[in-house]
Amino acid sequence: QAQLDAMIDLAYNIGVSAFQGSTLVRLFNAGDQAGAAEQFPRWNKSGGKILLGLRRRRAADRARFLGASGAEAIKT
C-alpha cells in the first residue's frame, strides 16, 4: 500500500501523462523497486527551478515508497 500511496501522490502532482511516461514507472514495472525509488527526487522542479517544498515532498514520497510510515516519511 505504501508504494501505491507514494506513486499516486507523484502522479497527482506531475500529471498522469508525465507519470505514465516516467522512468520511475518503467523501472517499477520491470521489477526494479530500488531503481524506481531513486527516481522520486528527480521530480523536484517547477518551471525549471528546484523548489524546497517539492524536494521535501519527493523525499517523503521516496521514504514512504520504501516502507516508512507517514510520520517517519515526513521527517526525511
Domain positions in the chain: 2-74
The x, y and z cell numbers of residue 60, run together, are: 517523503
Q: In 3D, which of 2, 6, 1 has the Cα closest to residue 57?
A: 6
Cα–Cα distance measured from residue 63 to residue 41, given in angstroms and rounded to the nearest whole number: 11
Cα–Cα distance measured from residue 65 to residue 25, given in angstroms and rounded to the nearest whole number: 13
Q: pTM of whole model > 0.95?
A: no
Q: For the domain 2-74, what is the CATH code? A: 1.10.530.40
Q: List pLDDT tens digits, range 10-53.
A: 999 999 999 999 999 999 999 999 999 999 999 999 999 999 99
